[in-house]
Amino acid sequence: RRWKETGNVAKAQAIGRGRPRLLNNKDIRYLIALLRHKPTRFLDEYQQLLAQWRYNSVGITVIHRALQREGFSVKRIEKVAKERTKEKVVDFIRRAAQYDPIQLVCIDEMSKDDRTYTRLFGR
């Protein structure tokens, strides 16, 4: 019967089935632009920016899945010491700038944690 009506035995492609996406193409392009500008943001920061500038309040899972569909993956967070602040870094650079490079001796502090023997996201 379908062959007689359409000249093809395959079903017609269903368009518009399922729940509509919460992020439109402009929202996704905005997210990608933010991601390329500063890729170290957390998903909740992208959520706040979407709500503030695109007036679209969506969940973190929606943002995560949209970025996955666009080919982006997650990365493991980098731990930063609580003591590290911009003010202290600027103060250190200002104080270190008074010396010639030949006068400086650098010592690296290294630590080992027994819980971190495996590489989790180093693929």
| pLDDT 10s digits, 89-109 | 899 899 999 999 888 887 766
Is residue 94 one of the residues assigned to a domain? no
35 located within any domain:
yes
* Residue 82 within a domain: no
- Give 15-52 pLDDT, tens digit per residue: 777 888 899 999 999 999 998 998 888 888 999 999 99
Q: Report pLDDT for 38.
A: 87
* Token pair belonging to 9: 């035995």
Residue that wins the pLDDT comparison between 25 and 5: 25
What CATH number corresponds to the domain at position 65?
1.10.10.10
The model carries a pTM of: 0.54
- 18 within a domain of the structure (yes/no): yes
- State the residue range of the domain holding 63: 2-69
Q: How many domains does the chain have?
A: 1
Q: What is the pLDDT of residue 114?
A: 58
CB 29 within 8 A of CB 54: no
